[in-house]
Amino acid sequence: MAVVFDHPKSLLDVSTHFCPGCGHGIVHRLVCEVIDEMGIEGDTIGVVPVGCSVMSYNYFGCDVIEAPHGRAPAVATGVKRVNPDKFVFSYQGDGDLAAIGTAETVHVGTRGENIVVIFINNTTYGMTGGQMAPTTLPGQVTQTTPFGRNVETNGYPIRVCEMMATLSGTALAQRVAIDSVPHIREAKKAIRKGFENQKEKRGLSIIEVLSTCPTNWGLSPEESMEFVKDQMIPYYPLGVYKDVTAEEGKKA
Amino acid sequence: MKGNEALAEAAIRAGCKCFFGYPITPQTELSAYMAKRMEKSGGVFLQAESEIAAINMVLGAASTGVRAMTSSSSPGVSLKAEGISYMAGSDLPAVIINVQRGGPGLGSIQPAQSDYYQATHAMGHGDFHILVYAPCSVQEMVDVVMLAFDKADQYRIPVMILADGLLGQMMEPVTFPEPRTELPDKSDWAACGHGGKREHHVINSLYLDAPLLEAKVQERFKRYAVIEETETDAELYCCGDAEIVVTAYGASARVAKSAVTAARRKGIQAGLFRPKTLWPFPKKELCEATKHAKQILDVEMSMGQMVDDVRLATECRLPVAFFGRTGGVIPTPEEVLAEIEKLAGGAE
């Protein structure tokens, strides 16, 4: 009988610390499936953030560096510049990437660093217990916005892909989600495209994944998927915000 | 050659494969030199978006086993503190240069030595040390760069060269060592892709299990103990019979040396103790230098920071006077001589 679904080889066979219904497990799996399909585990170096995925060095089978908070893109730059033939990706949450690490994120785009950034947007600081993130939706209740995010005092959520798409060095800026099987398939395709871009030295690929945090949202895993669909996607429309390969196609 | 440029050339010869920096006076010539030379020598030069990014690029590159360096000046080094702590906690070797200027805050762009505490006692959060070298001439800066890279690799720690704006900006003739061809093998820990040939390597400073973190820190402190035992270095000048020993490092030691020479001409039994390593502080060497001393005069381009280590090292057996200029003001040999004479007069 043919095996059609198996544990990815580059995802270590250990239990994760992620909560039930958390999207990290799905995205970890997608990244590792892509690494397996491309046969690049031995040539890949992952850079993980501070946040819920801080301990992903226990899950990814490739070599992994745990970066200071928000600095994963800078760490990945250092790795890639001295190892231009290796595959380098950073895996970051919203607080890490779009608050404390905004400068590092923007500048890997401006420099067109030939790396892949996997950006998990779940609208909250998960590990510290659910505080307001730069991506927390207007009106959303968190530990530090107990009456809902008031945009007049807390500012507006940041749309990362739209911002990154404006940068000349960005090769791919795409927003995907994990709330349904078709969306998960789309997410995997985007991640694959990111790693292919790196192989072809096209510049920075950022894949924003709208993900879940049932624990801090106070929702069941199922309700969390509904939250992604009903609340997040309308504010953060899915789609390709920049794709240099499509632009090349058009020119041709 | 200019001090800052000499540091850069020496780093390339030491096998430094990448330099990540951010512009700041008075160390800019170092970056500019790297920008010119690094790519030609097959390395990487990158101007980062911030000091924070620069030190983290060093962290990334060092994680893969290559020799990496950054340089900055006082306000910029404060920003690097986070990355240096992470590197210490991840056992990563790297060389960081601080061409000190006046502070606090934006301070001035003139030479100062007011980052001694930071470099030797508080270069980031957590329980850790970094090796700190304090050269006092352009030639010594060249020599110490080679040493700094070797020691960083040997002990797997970040190493700092604590220079100042005077040393960085001044010009002196130098001789460079031959470029390093053989570099240490780091394949047993570096995260540079396992190639399917080994277990994955993880570079990390997080240990949520308290006893495990304690054990990690304790292991590191065993290495620090070896460093304290074996890596201290100091220059002793006219200390054999010295009754007044002047303690000073870096640029202020040059001034102090002139003052000591002048004092000797006047018949005052003065000597100079110049630590070349600031952490570890050369305690044994200072005890040797002050064997016949009745008094110590500590001279710094600060309000008095190393003076604490001088008192600790001598266990307060001797009175320690202090003379310092700060904020970018450089003491003159005449000023220091006057202080020596004051002490000599008081002793009589």
pLDDT in tens, A116-137: 999 999 999 999 999 999 999 9
**Pick among B16, B51, B64 to test the A interface (most A CBs inside 10 A):** B64
B191 and A81 in contact by Cβ < 8 A? no
A78 and B205 in contact by Cβ < 8 A? no
Q: State whether CATH 3.40.50.970 applies to domain A24-251.
A: yes
What's the average model confidence in pLDDT over B109-116?
Answer: 97
Q: How much of chain A exceeds pLDDT 90, in percent?
A: 96
Q: Which residues contact A221 (CB under 8 A, 6 or more apart)?
A: A20, A21, A212, A214
Same fold, B3-196+201-230 and B235-347: yes
Judging contacts by C-beta atoms under 8 Å, the chain A residues touching residue B15 are none
For residue B322, pLDDT over 50 is answered with yes
Position A247 scores a pLDDT of: 81
For residue B347, pLDDT over 60 is answered with no
Q: Does A47 touch chain B (CB under 8 A)?
A: yes
For residue A87, pLDDT over 70 is answered with yes
Q: Does B37 touch chain A (CB under 8 A)?
A: no
pTM confidence score: 0.97
For residue B310, pLDDT over 70 is answered with yes
Q: How much of chain A exceeds pLDDT 70, in percent?
A: 99
A81 and B18 in contact by Cβ < 8 A? yes
User: Which residue among B53, B56, B193 places its CB closest to the CB of A86?
Assistant: B193
Class of residue B295 by CB neighbours under 10 A (exposed 0-12, middle 13-18, buried 19+): buried
Q: B238 is written with which tokens? A: 């006219």
Judging contacts by C-beta atoms under 8 Å, the chain A residues touching residue B202 are 57-58, 63-66
Q: Return the half-sphere exposure (C-beta side, CA atoms, 13 A cut-off) of residue B128.
A: 29
Q: Does A112 touch chain B (CB under 8 A)?
A: no
Judging contacts by C-beta atoms under 8 Å, the chain B residues touching residue A67 are 56, 59-60, 86
Read off the pLDDT band of A217 (50, 70, 90): very high
Q: Where are the domains of chain B?
A: 3-196+201-230, 235-347
Q: Where are the domains of chain A?
A: 24-251
What's the average model confidence in pLDDT over B138-142?
Answer: 98
CA dist list (Å): B123 to A28, A120, A136, B130, B278: 35, 32, 35, 8, 13
Q: Does A54 touch chain B (CB under 8 A)?
A: yes
Read off the pLDDT band of B177 (50, 70, 90): very high
Mean pLDDT of chain A: 97
Judging contacts by C-beta atoms under 8 Å, the chain B residues touching residue A68 are 56, 59, 82-83, 86
B56 and A83 in contact by Cβ < 8 A? no
**What angle, 0 to 180 degrees and rounded to 10, lies between the N-to-C axes of helices B28-37 and B3-13?**
40
Class of residue B183 by CB neighbours under 10 A (exposed 0-12, middle 13-18, buried 19+): middle
Q: Is the dihedral of CA A98, A100, A104, A110 positive or negative?
A: positive
User: Which residue among B192, B195, B204 places its CB closest to the CB of A66?
Assistant: B204
Q: Which CATH architecture has domain B235-347?
A: 3-Layer(aba) Sandwich (3.40)
A75 and B63 in contact by Cβ < 8 A? yes
Judging contacts by C-beta atoms under 8 Å, the chain B residues touching residue A83 are 64, 192-193
Chains A and B form CB pairs within 8 A to the count of 132
Position B277 scores a pLDDT of: 98
Asked whether A175 and A236 are in contact (CB, 8 A), the reply is: yes
Judging contacts by C-beta atoms under 8 Å, the chain B residues touching residue A82 are 17-18, 44, 61, 64, 66, 68
- Residue-wise pLDDT for A22-59, tens only, equals 999 999 999 999 999 999 999 999 999 999 999 999 99
Q: Does B156 touch chain A (CB under 8 A)?
A: no
For residue A2, pLDDT over 90 is answered with no
A75 and B197 in contact by Cβ < 8 A? no
A81 and B61 in contact by Cβ < 8 A? yes
B58 and A60 in contact by Cβ < 8 A? no
Which residue from B minimizes the CA distance to A49?
B204
Q: Does B79 touch chain A (CB under 8 A)?
A: no
Judging contacts by C-beta atoms under 8 Å, the chain A residues touching residue B48 are 74, 107
- Work out the minimum CA distance from A69 to partner chain B, whole angstroms: 10
B56 and A42 in contact by Cβ < 8 A? no
- Residue-wise pLDDT for B61-89, tens only, equals 999 999 999 999 999 999 999 999 999 99
Read off the pLDDT band of B52 (50, 70, 90): very high
Residues 13-32 of B with CB under 8 A from A: 17-18, 20
What's the average model confidence in pLDDT over A143-172?
Answer: 98
Asked whether A238 and A183 are in contact (CB, 8 A), the reply is: yes
- Residue-wise pLDDT for A165-203, tens only, equals 999 999 999 999 999 999 999 999 999 999 999 999 999
Judging contacts by C-beta atoms under 8 Å, the chain A residues touching residue B17 are 82
Q: How many C-beta neighbours within 10 Å does residue B182 have?
A: 6
**Pick among B38, B39, B197, B203 to test the A interface (most A CBs inside 10 A):** B203
For residue B348, pLDDT over 60 is answered with no
What's the average model confidence in pLDDT over A198-227?
Answer: 98
Does residue B111 have a cis bond before it (omega within 30 degrees)?
no
Read off the pLDDT band of A1 (50, 70, 90): confident
Q: Which residues contact B268 (CB under 8 A, 6 or more apart)?
A: B243, B244, B340, B341, B344
Which residue do the tokens 């893109």 mark?
A73
Does residue B26 have a cis bond before it (omega within 30 degrees)?
yes
For residue B45, pLDDT over 50 is answered with yes
Angle at B99 between CA B98 and CA B101, to 5 degrees: 115
Q: Which residues contact B112 (CB under 8 A, 6 or more apart)?
A: B74, B100, B101, B102, B103, B164, B165, B301, B302, B326, B327, B328
Position A18 scores a pLDDT of: 96
Judging contacts by C-beta atoms under 8 Å, the chain B residues touching residue A80 are 60
Q: A53 is written with which tokens? A: 């995925």
What's the average model confidence in pLDDT over B159-163?
Answer: 98
B63 and A79 in contact by Cβ < 8 A? yes
Position A252 scores a pLDDT of: 60
* CATH hierarchy code of domain B3-196+201-230: 3.40.50.970
CA dist list (Å): A250 to A243, A244, A247, B87: 11, 10, 5, 46
Q: A104 is written with which tokens? A: 């590092």
**Cα–Cα distance, A30 to A12 (Å, whole number):** 13
List for chain A the helix, strand, coil content (%; round to 5): 40, 20, 40
For residue B254, pLDDT over 70 is answered with yes
